[in-house]
Each structure stands twice: as C-alpha cells, then as structure tokens.
A and B are shown apart, each in its own frame.
Chain A
C-alpha cells in the first residue's frame, strides 16, 4: 500500500518534470526559429515617444561600484531634461552617500535620497518605495548599483511604453566579471539561458515575461495603482510581475536593452542570493497561484505559464524527493522495475544539467550570442544544479515552518559588490 502510494507520487512528480522539460524545449525551439526567420523583425515602436523618466538606484554600502554607475548615468543619451536619477542611499555606512552627493552637486538631474541608518537595510522594496515617492517621471526605471547599462538603454526601454498595454519592461542582464572565476562563469551561463532564451521565448509566445527587479521599469500610473513594491516579500520583482499581469497589463522583454551586472563571485554569496530568490519566489507562489487561476485578465496559456513560473523554485525540491522515492522503488517494486527505470529517464535528462535553464537552453543561448567556446563549460552546470537542491529545499522548509508558526519574518541578506567588474569595462 505504502509502496503503491510512493509510486503514484513518483509518477506525479516525474510528470511535472516532463512538463517543465517540454516547456524549456518549446522556449528553445521558439528562439531558434526566431533567429532563423530574422527578417521578421519587430516593428520599432514610436521613436518620437519620449516620456519623462525617473531612474531609481537603491544603494547600501556600494562605494566600490556606485561611481561607475553614476558616471554612466551622465553618459546616457536620453535627453537630460526628461531624466531624473534618484540614488537611494539606504543607510550606508561607507562613502556611498558622499560619492552620490558629489555627482548630485555637479549634475542637476541626479538627486540623492539619504535614509537614516534606522530606516535603511530593510530590503530593496522599502528603498524603492522611498525613491518612488520622491520621483516625478511618467516612467520609473530601476538599476542596481552594481549595474552598467548601455548608453541608449533608456530609449530602448521607454519606447515600449508607447503601447498602452505595456505596464512594465525588462532588459537583458549580461555578466560583466565573467572571467573572474568558476562561479561567475557558471552564473554567466545561467544568465545566458535565462535571458537569451527563456525571457525572449516567453515574450515571443505571449506568456509571462518576468520583471527581474533591475534593468527594467514601470508605467508610473500603474505602479501607483498597485501601491508600489511589496515590502513583505523577498522577491519583490516576481511579486510585481504578477500584480502587473493580474491588473491586465503586460511585461515586455527587450532583449536589445542590455546591461552589465557584477555577478556573485563565491559560493557563499551564490547560496545567499539563491536562497533569497527561492524563498521570495515561493512566497509569491503562495500569494498569487490562486489569483492567477481565477484571473479574468489572463489567457489560459498565461495562466499555465504563470503557474509554472511561480513553482519553478520548487523544482529542485521535487527532484530531490523524486530521487529519494525513486531509488527504493527501483529495488522494492520488482514488478514495476522497468516502469520505474523508464520514468527515471526524464528526471535524469531534465535535472542533471540544470534546474532553471537546462543545458540545451544555455547552449542555444550561447550559440545565438555567437559564443561557441563557453559551451565547453556547460557540463559544469551539474555543480550549480546540485548546489541548488539543498538551497531551495532549505528555503522551502524554512518558509513552511514560518507559515506554520505564523512568523514569516524576512531577513534581507544583501549581496556585497567589491567592484571586481570595474577592470572589465572598456572605454
């Protein structure tokens, strides 16, 4: 009886993995087909559309990188009379505020919002809300302090808002310090799969393109009606993505709007960042799943993709559970041995080389970027796969315990940036 129940769970979980696997194959084939039919390019949106734009830059102890970004803000090609840059100095204890003040004194469009130490450090969402109250632009864009965008990125992102159905936009993130070490290289691979293939395909297929919290932004009127960023979740970006869709608007992914980021460069920072993403994403899953199902503003395919997206950080947990259940099943259910082995095949295929961006997605993304040599590193994704299993499982268990005890207290562990990407910037 117990074995039969376990077998049923095993088959259910495997089926779920197969669904994700098919989803990623569809995404990969979509971007490949798009690349082949490159003549069918999107019509450029109204080039004359130049709304006022406020750029929010939350910064807490970012003295190593903030100057680089502010210099880039000065170099942006967007008309400065339509641009407002707000640095939210979130209670920094280093010279972040002083550097920002220097830029502000030299350039009128750069403003600094200093938050007291007792107000700061409560997470990115709180800092963004403080900046949002201070902003005046029709469009609100966000950049993290360690980012380094193209000079014309504001034009590329803002033009999307000419379409009244677009509530938010998202640009592409490219890892700047990629050659630094194995961690940064693997993060770069994940980013290639995630943005070059995953986001682009979701956008092309009219599914749920995701706002990633940075290198993107919102229509002001929409953000006001949504009440800004939710400070109670660790994945405020995913939360906003779903609130945008539930409100009847779309998120547009703009692959041409590229921005460098300084990726985490050690396994501890990787773990802390992924734990935050996983736990935050799971919070959003509990918060939005039912709303997505009931929504009248979402089409069926958006609902399906939305649910798959909300549950994506459960996948490493599911893989772990499947392996734990699958092994005894192979040994103890002799009559179903062949069936069990057969069902373990898709698990191996799906999970061995990637949870969030499987190997073929990363490989095709690298190919489309014209980078063949980086594909040699793809087998190493097995390490991030293995590492994500305990990270996501812990995030799930912690969240479960906090829900049971009704103490869903978020601790925001900020990613430190040491300015290691500075040496890779070429002028």
Chain B
C-alpha cells in the first residue's frame, strides 16, 4: 500500500516540473511573442480638468465602452464604405 521512495521522488519531480512549467508558460509565451502595448504612454498637455474627468470613469467600464464603441462604429463604417459608390 505504501508507495516506495523511488516513485515518491519521481512524482515529486514530475509534479514540481509541471507546476513550474504551468507557472512560467504564460510568461514564456509573452516573451516569445509580446502582445503588451508597453511602455506605458504618459500623456502631455492634458489639463487638470481632463485628468479629473478621466479619473471619474471607473476603470472596469472602459473596456465595456470600447466594446460598445466598436459595435456602433463597425456598421457605420460599412455604410460609409458604400457611400463613394453611390456617387455618379
């Protein structure tokens, strides 16, 4: 019933290796093909009022807004794309 020492060591090594791989896999992927938009862009010439307005937008909602914008803009873009062909 009691597993022998060799199998315990094998399981430990395998487990540790798997854990390290899983832990580092995202990092290795990001290093291989960076998709991060860094470095952080610092902004110039933004007035204090604008900064305050930016601060008032909850961070979580920014992504939702972007999704909403793209949902609205894509059909509009298609319509605009047709417009030149309407000209005679």
Contacts and interface: CB of A to CB of B under 8 A. Distances in A.
Do A and B originate from a single complex?
A: yes
Interface of A: 35-36, 38-39, 41, 44, 47, 77, 150-152, 174-179, 182, 185, 188, 192, 256, 258-260, 367-371, 373-374, 376-380, 424, 426
Given A38-B56, A38-B58, A150-B42, A371 B27 contact: no
Contacts of A259: 42
Given A39-B56, A44-B52, A379-B23, A374 B44 contact: no
B62 A179 contact: no
B39 A260 contact: yes
Contact of A177 (B27, B39, B55): B39
B39 A47 contact: no
Interface residues of B, number: 29
A369 B40 contact: yes
Contacts, number: 85
B42 A41 contact: no
Contacts of B24: 379-380
A78 B57 CA distance: 28
Interface string B16-34: 0000000110110111001
A178 B27 contact: no
A371 B38 contact: yes
B36 A373 contact: yes
Nearest to B26: A376
Contacts of B38: 178-179, 185, 188, 371, 374
B42 to A, nearest CB: 4
Contacts of B52: 41, 44
Contacts of B27: 376-380
A39 B34 CA distance: 34
A258 B42 contact: yes
Interface string B32-51: 00111111111111101001
